[in-house]
Amino acid sequence: MVNVHLRSNIKSSAQRGLKSKLVAEFPQLENAIDNVIPKKSQVVMIKCEDKIHLYASDNEVILFEHFDDVVPALRTVHAYPDGFPRVQVDRGAIKFVLSGANVMCPGLTSPGAKLPEENIEKDTLVTIYAEGKEHALAVGKLTMSTDDIKSKNKGIGIELLHYLGDGLWNFHD
């Protein structure tokens, strides 16, 4: 469960800054950003333990800040699936991802897994899909580039930040 320390409404200028940060990180979201964070909505910042800030609108968490990263909540990813870089794990990795494990390189390179043709740089946030499934099951941060994942094929490829069924998924403002 997520331990909440403080809730506060954010100013419209901070809301615009949040939108800019999100579009800078995920340029594909630019056309949908006013739907992700509606202009007339009140965004609430929820400060949690471990310096995590959740941002919610209409009682639903849209995104969170984890250190310097602006990370979309899975519900946002499900609503705007084309707005984020994506990778796919094989069926064997599903149960591990859903239990919060980081994604190992072989789970991203084996049959059933998919990495994009073009290289994605280390430290990029990606959405994680599973073989045979329609919706993303997690969001994570690449620990190495996708080219390195393909060539090394060992070690942790993605540090998991948020997954279906975790405390944030079950969080209600």
Range of the domain at 121: 81-163
Q: What is the pLDDT of residue 56?
A: 92
* pLDDT reading at 173 higher than 70: no
Per-residue pLDDT tens over the stretch 112-169: 999 999 999 999 999 999 999 999 999 999 999 999 999 999 999 999 999 999 988 9
State pTM to two decimals: 0.92
User: 125 lies in a domain?
Assistant: yes
Whether the Cβ atoms of residue 100 and residue 152 lie closer than 8 Å to each other: no
Q: Distance (Å, rounded) from C-alpha 141 to C-alpha 103?
A: 10
Q: Which CATH number fits the domain that encloses residue 95?
A: 3.10.400.20
For residues 62 and 108, state if they share a domain. no
Q: Residue 76 has what pLDDT? A: 95
The residue whose two tokens read 């290289």 is 119
Q: What pLDDT, on the 0 to 100 scale, is given for residue 2?
A: 58
